[in-house]
Amino acid sequence: MLTVTGVPWVTLMLLVACGWILAAAGGLRTSLSVSGLLAYGAKATPLILDRGETWRLLSANLLHKDILHLAFNAFAIWNVGGALERAVRPADYLALLIFTALGTTVASAVGSDSISLGASGIAFGVLGAAAAFGWKRRVQGRLRAHFGLRLLPWLFALFLAGLGSAGVDNWGHAGGLFVGTVTGLFLTPRQWSGEGAARRLAGATGALLGTVSLGMFAGPCLPILGTPRDGPLGVQVQMPFGWRKASSAPERVSYTNGLIGVFRGSATVVAPTCRGKPCACDRLSEAVTGLVQADLWRLADVGLLGSVNLGEATPLAIEGAKAANVEGIVLGSEGQARIGATCVERDRTAIAVVVLEAPSTSGSRLETRIARTVRWAVFPQDSP
């Protein structure tokens, strides 16, 4: 026996939490800016892989860009998820929400590097779960309108609408739908024993805690460096996974994570010059100051350049090369950014890696990690 009477308290609290976060972010009056979305927990793959902010895999499901975005998702979740919550074990429904939220953002992080947010993945998840639950339990009578294969036309129509719309995270929708459908096959009616549901909720809670804490344990290994990329003078160097080329010139190549403001990170591989001529690593501070003042400060996204403050270069141990490191701050009209530069010199040829990032990430020493991956070009020798 199934019933859909009563108040769906879990669904209600989920939607209240979404509304509270939107109000706290200032999204009730106007659409949130990209910086505001990132500040309040939107999914951004570079921040997950570079800084270990795996909590975004949960928070992105609760954040919306404006009241209309929230209203659309709330309508679907309240009507479908509310009925499902009242029909199944409470522990099962909580496990469904957790698994679906994680499935949504994990699929989005893997398949798309764009910023994404919203509870639409959860909406697809509860739709898929309701369809699978009704089919598995062979729901009959008037409740077939809430559960079972009759929901499939709605599912297909909504998913196709997303495929035909710009700016829609279809990877997230697909992830939420898949995880929700699979979980729906295991949901048990509210009148049944709760032992299996309790185990599923424990598994979902463990998955959530493991996901959120993963970034903290992985911190010393972050950012994750990807495959070798091209640099000046024929060298190759590994950049953080997913970073894109921002600019290039014969003497330098710049890469960024594609974000803005304090979330921006960039790394430039350059053959350092002092007063227009190649210089060695012992003049790293002079070379980096001139480079940043010329135009590299634009990659920091701190507004108009104010000043560049660098310390003295210190020797650094890198096997097979002479090396030095320098750190400092670039001040702009809209904020500041940390500068970190590591220079490696081999066969009288120097290559420097200059990183610009938020001051709070200074513990990563990304420039040194990248510099250690420099692979010098090998030129064929002339035949005797």
DSSP three-state, residue 47: helix
Domains plus CATH for the chain?
9-220 (1.20.1540.10), 224-371 (3.40.1000)
d(CA 168, CA 226): 27
Task: Give the model confidence (pLDDT) of 241-278 as tens digits.
Answer: 889 999 888 889 999 999 988 899 999 999 998 888 88
| pLDDT more than 90, % of the chain | 54
pTM (whole model) above 0.75: yes
Angle in degrees, 0-180, between the axes of helices 120-136 and 90-111, rounded to the nearest 10 = 130
DSSP label at residue 78: I
Pairing of strands 266-270, 252-256: antiparallel
Task: Give the model confidence (pLDDT) of 285-337 as tens digits.
Answer: 999 999 999 889 999 989 999 999 998 888 888 887 889 999 999 999 999 99
- Angle CA(206)–CA(134)–CA(143) in degrees, nearest 5? 125
End-to-end Cα separation, the chain, in angstroms: 91
pLDDT at 32 over 90: no
Q: What is the DSSP string of 337-381?
A: EEEEEEEEEETTEEEEEEEEE-GGGGGG-HHHHHHTT-B---PPP
- Indicate if the alpha-carbon torsion angle 28, 34, 40, 42 is positive or negative: positive
pLDDT at 84 over 90: yes
At 54, is the pLDDT very low, low, confident or very high (cuts 50, 70, 90)?
A: very high
- pLDDT at position 343 is 93
d(CA 265, CA 340): 11
